[in-house]
Amino acid sequence: MARITGWVHEAAFVGLADLESCEVYAAGPPAMIAALQREYAARGASSCRLYFDSFDYAADTLERQRMSAVTKS
């Protein structure tokens, strides 16, 4: 079996030509969810079959947001 690297959705989409018949459930960091949304749309799939939980409010994410705000001011 070949080793697959990258985002989870990239590996899951390998060999799937038609996402329109799939419901996709995902949870993860904001960058991964944004990438998944872009890929889903690029494949012409309906966003009403895409369900996700972005970890925007995880403790480490909030800390990074605070640090970013401090460095910008």
pLDDT in the model for residue 56: 78
**Distance between CA atoms of residues 43 and 17, nearest Å:** 9
Which amino acid would we find at residue 69? Answer: A
Question: For residue 51, what pLDDT is reported?
Answer: 93
What pLDDT, on a 0 to 100 scale, did the predictor assign at position 62? 67
Q: How many angstroms separate the CA atoms of 11 and 1, rounded?
A: 13
Tell me which residue has tokens 């944004």: 34
In a structure prediction context, what are the per-residue pLDDT tens digits for the chain, which is 73 residues long? 678 788 888 888 887 878 787 888 999 888 888 988 998 888 888 889 899 998 877 666 667 777 777 776 5
pLDDT of amino acid 52: 92
DSSP state of 46: -
Q: From CA 40, how far away is CA 50, in angstroms rounded?
A: 8
